[in-house]
Each structure stands twice: as structure tokens, then as C-alpha cells.
Amino acid sequence: MTLREVRERVNLSLYESKDRNLKILRVLNLFISVSALVVLAIYYGFPQTEESSYGLLSFIKFSFVFYVIQYIARLIYDFHPSTFLKENWFEGVVMALLVIEGICDLFVGSFLLEPLLIKLGFDSYTDFSTLFIQFYFAIVVIAELMRKGAVLPRIKMHPAVIFILSFLGITTVGTLLLMMPEMTTSGNGMKAIDALFTSTSATCVTGLMVEDTMTFFTFKGQIVLLLLIQLGGLNVIAFASFLSLAARFGVSVRQHDVIEDFVNKDSYLSGKNTLSRVFIWCMSIEIIGAIALAFSWSNNLEFTSTGERIFSSLFHSISAFNNAGITLFTDGLAFEAVASNWLVHWIITILVFVGALGMVALFDLFSLEKLRERKKAPWKGLGFATKIALYFSLILVAIGTVSFATIEWNGALSGMDLWGKFTTSVFQSVTRTSGFNTVDISSVGVPMLFLLIILMFIGASSSSTGGGIKTSTLSVVLSDVWRTVRGLDHVHLFKRTISPTLRSRAYSVLMFFIVGNAFFLFLLTISEGSLLENGTISFLDLVFEQISAMGTVGLSTGVTPELSTAGKIIISISMFIGRVGTLTVAFALGGRSIETHFKYPEGHTMIG
């Protein structure tokens, strides 16, 4: 009997039980993964006795054993084992690592990779590996549920509602984690309102903070912030990708509006491997940025170990690419040890700029497929959306750089050499979307603060992690204004005609953003009335804070820690709405669209 015949007999014997057993394994996988994450939160979030620590770790080890058994079972039940191994190669590597480390722990009493990582400065190898593996399997479980159709087809909700709920879920979990005692150096955890504010700021990649990240949070707390930033940033891109994919199978007009609020019809964010492609690109850029930063920190920064240097590099790279603007330094990048490290400033600048361009533009600019296509056919230029994102971003950076250098030459830039002034001007112009600062924003003059407000209001590009009305909205509105001034019949931009629907959507985004900021600013003048009256803060400070929050920027004149509880709640809501998008919120609350088959007579009135 040949090997093939043996395999066929095995397949026939397993066929009847395959679906039932795999379904049971999926349910168990979901339950064990969620339970293990809860156990991990308790283990790392609260002080542990020897007995409690042993019990919690035993459950985690049990979950590892289950993951290995489940992987082997899936391999056996698959009718094409070689294909299964190729498609699930990364999971196979993780399983092999679990088996090897389990054997070493059982017979030797130590882990195989532990000595290597300890030399690099990672003293808690078990903690890192455990956290990574559980987090990985949580993502695998969610992805499998979505892929197998166990959840997605049963959700009868507008995509905008799903998007909003996903952010609410991440923010809520982050709030609960930050309230745990082990997350803060005081051992008391964060107050509920401060934890909510911080979690919202990190998840919405804004960067406004009420506490000093460097001194207030423990390493565990900083890990939580890092995960919130990464999840928040990827959630925007991943959901935009999902909506693009959904559009191919037919969705309503209102759902198309949400889709095109993130990406356009010609988006490259569509296809079978969209999510994996997005994740790989994001992770690759962040790792490259982290490596560059690791070799760029000056000796003035006294890292206690190589591990701390690596973590700091990774944290700032992820924070920069996701336009979060959160740092591990007391005064941000104006911290004395990095304030004049121009190389670090340029690396951060590049990461922020690339992150603010959006995945649509990045794929068009740098994907091998597009590069080969343009090489074979030089007449094929960049995509329409890419031109808008790239050219308008460069124009805004140029305007901001020249303005900052001109206005603040003898102000915030005083005492720097020529190269330092140029670098700082470019940096502060680029970070209109991220919130990093290399100078004290409170020392910046009123004219430049006003210009920064305008730049923050405009924000980044579509399908990026940045906020604001987006460069696409600005480009369409300006083009329509130019059409009106010139008396043209159509709106043209980069030799393309802008449809009335797209113009209407651009004006809707603009109006929602203006009205939203005005409304929340009005509430802030009430909640922070006492601070305004006694001169602690000015009205311009409040305007700056509000625009920064709704634009998910994170720049502040120092108002954030002074806010009242009501003020923090208002800013938190602003950050949330700014992150998910004003149009998304409007569509989620607007109910079902109704098509009408009649038209009223035209009305005429004077405008202006």
C-alpha cells in the first residue's frame, strides 16, 4: 500500500468527524484564548503571591498545550497537509517554539532563548514570550471567526457602527488595564477618568496626556500604551480595507460614503490578501524605524540596558508611524537628552510623514507591482488619490516650515544654529498630524499658534492614521472654489473631473468638522470657565486644545493636565469622534437611507 493510499484511507475515516471536531476546537480556542488574556491581565495587573502566581501561570501553560494540540489536530484533519503547512507557516513556527521551550523547561528547567535575550537586557523573557503568544492567538481566533463566517454574516449592523464599537471596545479594555495597580509607579493605578482619557488618547492615536509617561507609568503600563497605539492605528487601516473589500460585493450608497471617507474607488486596499499586506507593510516600516532609532540615540540618554534601548526605539517608531505623538520622555522630544539630536528628529519626521500619507499612497508609491508597472510603461503616473496625498502634504509641510522659521526665528528657535532651526521648523510642520514637539509649544507666539491650528484642522491624508478633515477634502473644496471664481462648468484637479457627489461629501466633512469643533469648544468654555476667568488659560489655549483633540494631533500648550473632569470627558469625546470620522458618526446615527422618486421645484436665493 502506497503512502497516498494510506493518506486517502485516513481522510475517509476522519471525514465524518471532521466538521464536528473542528467546530468544537474553534469554540474551545475562543474560550481558552479569551480566558488566558483575562488571566494575563490579572497576573500582570495586580500584585501576586507565590500561590496565586503558580495557579495563574499553570493555566497559561495549559493554554499553550491546547494550542499545540489544536494545531496538530487541524493538520491531521486537513486533506492537504503540505498546503496547510505552507499557508500556516508562521503559526507552525510559533508551535515549534512552544514545543521546544516546553521540553527545555520540563527537562532542563530553563528556556532555550532565555540566555540570549537576557544578554540583550530583556530580564523577563517569560513575560515577553507569554504576552506575545497570547496576543497572537487572540488575533488568530478573531481572524478565524471572521474568515469562517461565524460572526460577520450574522452582524446586521451598519459598517460605521461596527467600526465605532471596535474602537469603544479597545478603549474600554485599555481603560480597565490602566486602572490596575501594577501599571503605575505609585502602585495605585490611574483614576477612572484619567485612565479613560489616556486610553482614548492612545487608541485614537492623539497623544494628549494627563500624566508624564516617563515617570508615572511602569514598564507594564508603557506596554499597554504601546499596544493601544498599535491596535488603534491598525484598526483604522484594517477597517478601511475591510470596507473596500465589502464594496466589491455590493453595499448601500450610505456605506459607500463611509468607505470613500477612508479610501477611494481606485484604492489599492482591495483584494484577497489586503489585511496581511497592510499588516506586513506597517510592521516592516515600524521595525525599520526602530532599528534606525536604536542606532541614533545619543550617549546622553542613559539606558539601563540594551533591552531598554530597543523598547524605547520600538515605542517611538510605532508612536511616530501611527501619528500618536506619545513619547517616553518627560518633555517629549524637547527633553534635554534628545532636544538637539537632529538625526532622531529626522527619523521621527520621516516616520510621521509616511504614516500621514496613508496606505493607498504608500502602495502606489513603493509597491513592487506599481514600480514595475511604471518602469514598463513610463507614461503611467501616480494614481489620482496618491497625487492629492503627496502633493498637498508637501505643500502644507513647505508652508508650515517657512512660516515657523520666519515667525519663530528669534522666538522658539532662538539659540539654535542654522541646521537646528531648519530641522525644528520642518519637524514642527510635519508633526501637525502627530503631536510630537521639539520645542515648548507654550513658548510659541500667537501668530504661529493660529497657523498650527489651521494645519491641525487640515490634518493628514485619507486611509492614514492621522486625523483632520484630510488633504483630500481640502483639495476638493479648493478646486470647487476655484471653479466658482473662474466661472467654470466642471471641477478639475490633476486632469480629472470631480463629481458633484464627491464635492458634496467634501463639504459635508468640512461642515461636520467645523460644527463639531464649535460645539465642543462651546462646552469647554463652560466646563473650564473658572480657568478662563482667573487667567490660568486663555481662550486661544482652549481652541488649540480642542482642534488638537478632534484632529487627533496631540499638541498642547500645557492645558491638558489642568482640565476639569468635565473638560477631560469633552476632550475624550472629541478625540473619539475625530478618530472614527465625523461622517462615520453621522451615518451611524442617521438611520436607514430612503430613496425618493420625486423632485421639488428648484429654489433660488442670494448667496453671500
* pLDDT score, position 247: 41
- Which cell numbers hold the place of 420? 537646528
185 pLDDT more than 50: yes
- Which cell numbers hold the place of 360? 493607498
Cα 452 to Cα 558: distance, rounded to the nearest angstrom: 15
- pLDDT band of residue 319 (cuts 50, 70, 90) is very high
Mean pLDDT confidence for 581-599: 60
448 pLDDT more than 90: yes
605 pLDDT more than 80: no
Comparing 316 with 302, the larger pLDDT belongs to 316
Q: Are 527 and 571 in contact (CB under 8 A)?
A: no
Cα 366 to Cα 364: distance, rounded to the nearest angstrom: 6
* pLDDT score, position 265: 42
251 pLDDT more than 60: no
Cα 541 to Cα 532: distance, rounded to the nearest angstrom: 10
Q: Are 510 and 517 in contact (CB under 8 A)?
A: no
Q: Cell 490633476 maps to which residue?
A: 494
- Which cell numbers hold the place of 46? 495586580
* pLDDT score, position 407: 95
DSSP bridge pairs for 497 = 492
Interhelix angle 359-366/219-247, rounded to 10 degrees, is 80
* pLDDT score, position 485: 87
Comparing 154 with 310, the larger pLDDT belongs to 310
- pLDDT band of residue 245 (cuts 50, 70, 90) is very low
- Which cell numbers hold the place of 574? 472629541
Mean pLDDT confidence for 329-351: 90
Q: Residue 15 burial by CB count (10 A; 0-12/13-18/19+): exposed, middle or buried?
A: exposed
Q: What is the DSSP string of 337-406?
A: TTTT-HHHHHHHHHHHHHHHH-HHHHHHHH-HHHHHHHHH-TT----HHHHHHHHHHHHHHHHHHHHHHH
Q: Which helix (H) or strand (E) holds 498?
A: strand 496-498
* pLDDT score, position 320: 94
Mean pLDDT confidence for 283-304: 89
